[in-house]
Structure 1
Amino acid sequence: MRKIILTGLLLAFVATTSCKDKVKESAETEQSNSVEKLVVQHHLGTTEVVKNPKKVVLLSYGVIDSFDKLSIPIAGLPKGNLPGYLSKYGNDDSIVDIGNLMDPNFEKINELGPDLIVISARQSKLYDELSKIAPTIYMDIDKDDYLGSFEKNARQLGELFDKEIEVEKELMIIKSKIAKIKQISENSHKTGLIVLVNEGRYSAYGKGSRFGIIHDVFGVKPADQNIEVATHGQSVSNEFIQKVNPDYLFVIDRGAALKKNDLNTAAFSNPLIEKTKAFKNDKIIFLSPDVWYLSGGGLESVGMMVDEIERAL
């Protein structure tokens, strides 16, 4: 009789334990299934991402400034050579320094265990390797559709982090300012030339280039319609600048962006450039190199770019 009772108790214990395990397993499965995920399509593929990811690693200054504008926490970013307007992140000990923008520290990223990694063109070759660590999405600007790709990126972030209302508010402000700038440009005969200066050497950029937003979005008429569309621009001289004679000369100083030097204003004080309408009318405009060269494409940086052009015209 005692043996029967003990056997019965043992069977009851096993059954109870089994039920508890099944309930626990069911709860875990239900919890897993309740996690909302989004499928993000981007230039390098399709990535499934958990909505509202907690740990995010960013490898794009433009995306960092969008996170900043939307008050979204960042777990890791490259702290070396941050643009000045994002310098506060360099001193934030709660954010892991993941190395160099062009050569991130994979070990640190892996240790961080991110839920999401966001990259741009500078890390496109690292996409497959980074995707092995965490879901990775490519978020950059299409120079052939600057405004469209900028809006798409912003709205993707809004959807991922439940910030749709905030994103639309920022986009509305930016687009309203752009409309005013375009109206000024369209009603003016004045032309502009965009020049990147690098240790005394000039490269010109026109429509469809990395800085083409000035022509393509803001509507400033090009001083030269035939500037070669190339990654590093078209090499030009003082003679070229004098010949095309722009009303506005927009200057981006690469050295000031990378080496944190003072703007090289002296390069544009020479007899040839002094003959241009831009010089005579005090319209040689030194754009913020941190924003235009290092960053751009984010809610904060595009807003700053808009403001600079609005003040210039």
Structure 2
Amino acid sequence: MSTIRPIAVLSLVVASALVAGGCSSSSAAEESTGAAAAETVTFSWDRNVAGEDEEPRYEETTVEVPADPERIVVFDMASLDTIGALGGEVAGAPLDSVPEYLQGYLAEDAFNAGTLFEADLVEIESQQPDLIVVGGRSSALYEDLSEIAPTVDLSLTGSYTENLERNATFLGQVLGAEEEAATALAEVEAGIEEARAVASAAGTGLGVMVSGGKLSALAPSGEDASGRGARGGLIYDAFGVQPVVEDVEAATHGEPISFEFLLEHDPDYLWVVDRDAATGAEGTQAAAAVLDNDIVKQTTAYQQDHIVYLDPTAWYIVFGGLDTTQIMIDDVMQIAQ
């Protein structure tokens, strides 16, 4: 039975952290020289503390992180996106996983922090980061990384727009870019609403993932409001596409579908994610080539030129950052042209 992961609660408290001075004369000296107290930002979320094979069990976790940190290590690509979009830069990341359009947000001397699934703990500790951010695929690294530096988990949990607002607001506070975050959020939220209006008025749709020459149907997230379910349901949940069948998952008897399924349900639009292009898989057919067959050519979507190829990196790898959300909005708005 699916368990709904609670939406993380954000506590954006900018607090003055008193530096332990050891004696009153030292404190007085600091006051006389006008030394400013260091600021911190407090972030709280519900973390799954259950073991790998146990039912999820959530516990509120609160972390204080330094405001305006000098060295940030990021394992969550959506957070790297937002940090860069708000004028910050990242000192370390799993460099092989950083999409090309986000590489400009890395420091010139950015170090390789490992992979999305395995952190190079020795290297990270030697670099002395002030803040570490995990999320999604890298959430399992939290325990080890939190022993090195303040670490927060900005995983997608529940509503896409709520999470986008939560994370951008928090990172804006951390970077001292509150106004920039508010402005950027207003722009992308207006864009999402515009895209929703267009998509919801366009008739029925089906999200399809293509990988290894095979098709899988994407379904609204429903109870699976985090991780893989949320990602697959974005085209419906965030952007308002009307599913061609009420219960996509039930209609597919799981996820894999045939070309005949497309013809049988015949949605007005096909929204396609090329997983192999996103992951850089070698020796595979492009999604457009896989869908270039006699059965698909009989569908309404093909005949009316309503097959929309979504940016695979944005929709499958990153999803959640400010720049990436704009890419997703632009993808959906293709049908308005």
Tell me whether the two structures share a fold, i.e. TM-score over 0.5.
yes
What's the TM-score once normalised by structure 2's chain length?
0.79
Question: Higher mean Cα deviation, 246-255 or 37-46?
Answer: 37-46
Query: Which position in structure 2 is the counterpart of 1:49?
Result: 65
Measure how far apart 1:89 and its partner are.
5.7
**Where do 1:156-305 residues align within 5 Å?**
156-188=170-202, 190-208=203-221, 209=229, 210-228=231-249, 234-259=255-280, 263-305=286-328
Are 1:193 and 1:204, in contact at CA under 8 Å, matched by a contact in 2?
yes
Is residue 124 of structure 2 the alignment partner of residue 115 of structure 1? Answer: no
Q: Judging changes above 3 Å, is the alpha-carbon distance between structure 1 residues 186 and 23 closer, same or farther for their aligned structure 2 residues?
A: same
- Counterpart CA distance in 1 for 2:212 and 2:27 is 64
Matched AA of 1:243: E
Provide structure 2 residue ranges, at least 5 long, that are not aligned to the other structure: 1-22, 48-60, 222-228
Question: By percentage of residues, which structure has more strand?
Answer: 2
Structure that is richer in helix per residue = 1
* Paired residue total: 288
Aligned to 1:183, the other structure's residue is in SS state helix
Aligned-partner SS, 1:114: coil
Cα deviation, 1:3-29, whole Å, max 9, x if unaligned, reads xxxxxxxxxxxxxxxxxx874476579
Contact in 1 for aligned 2:91/2:109 (Cα 8 Å): yes
Q: Which residue of 1 aligns with 2:96?
A: 80
TM-score, structure 1 as length reference: 0.85
SS in structure 2 at match of 1:43: strand
Is the counterpart of residue 35 in structure 1 residue 38 in structure 2? Answer: yes
Deviation at 1:33, TM superposition (A): 8.3
The structure that has the greater radius of gyration is: 1
In the TM superposition, residue 73 of structure 1 has moved relative to its aligned partner by 2.0
Q: Which secondary structure does the structure 2 equivalent of 1:37 belong to?
A: strand
The aligned residue for residue 131 of structure 1 is 146
User: RMSD value over aligned CA atoms?
Assistant: 2.5
Deviation at 1:277, TM superposition (A): 0.9
CA 1:278–1:150 in 2, change beyond 3 Å: closer, same or farther? same
Show the counterpart of 1:11. Answer: none
Letter in structure 2 aligned against 1:214: I
Q: CA deviation at 1:174?
A: 1.1
Matched residues in 1 for 2:233 and 2:99: separation? 21
